[in-house]
Amino acid sequence: MELNIYQVDAFASEVFEGNPAAVCPLESWLPDSILQRIAEENNLSETAFFVAENDSFSLRWFTPEDEVDLCGHATLATAHVLFEHLGYSDQTIQFQTNSGLLTVEKSNSGYGMDFPATVPKAVVAPNILIDALGVSPKEVLSGFDYVVVLGSETEVRSMVPDFIKLSRLDLRGVEITSPGDKVDFVSRCFFPKLKVNEDPVTGSAHCELAPYWSERLGKNNLTAQQLSKRRGIVGCEVIGDRVVLKGDAVDYLQGKITIKI
């Protein structure tokens, strides 16, 4: 069996920026074990698989370790593949996912993704989290990740966490964040439990970060930067219980996977 595969740099304006994701269109769903092995072989933070269903698409995402319920950059990459390579002609794509209906709209400035917002709540920080980061945070909150608020962009940039300790936490991962020097807020995201020590640009994290900073800064439209080595800019618009994440995407490669089932 041959499967088409695309690798796209999401939240990027040039190759080697943003967050790379693999995208595999399928005619029908393969066994989960095969999807997981493909994602493990790709060894990217996410591989997206999708199947056409009537007027929408069923979309799933896999890390090298497990399936996840929400992934922003791989959704952006999938929309890019549909618009730019597979002849999708409408302005908006609907995706059916484990996180409900997600839509992606194409515009002259890139793509806008309509995602559910998650408002993180203040919590007492687990001791292992503080030990792993080696800092005294301003705040610690939790949603589907721990959100650790630091005092400055310099602290976020210089963080060297203990990934082994972070992998023992009960939630999916950890986001560290602070006000930005030139943008509204900055962040870095760590998911060692999913075999992704540091994710380059994390769309789903901004579903938690944007509502927090929107309330704190008193504004609904924000510009964020993720300070990984590859870096990326994420536009965020908080609309009620939704977040529109905005960014662009560029092609890195196209190819074929040959597997036996």
Catalytic residues, by residue number, are 46
C-alpha–C-alpha distance, residues 250 and 261, integer Å: 31
Cα angle: 95, vertex 98, 99; to 5 degrees: 80
CA distance 207 to 187: 13
Looking only at the bridges linking them, the beta strands covering 92-97 and 100-107 are antiparallel
Rounded to whole angstroms, how far apart are CA atoms 36 and 5?
Answer: 15
Q: Are 252 and 9 in contact (CB under 8 A)?
A: yes
First-residue to last-residue Cα distance in the chain: 7
H or E element that contains 200: none
Residue with structure tokens 């400055």? 152
Helix axes 72-84, 203-217, angle to 10 degrees: 120
Query: 110's torsion region: left (phi>0), alpha (psi -120 to 50) or beta?
Result: left
User: What are the backbone angles phi and psi of residue 89, rounded to the nearest 5°?
Assistant: -105, -15
Scan for tokens 């901004």, then name that residue: 206
Buried b (16+ CB within 10 A) or exposed e, 59-79: bbbbbbeebbebbbbbbbbbb
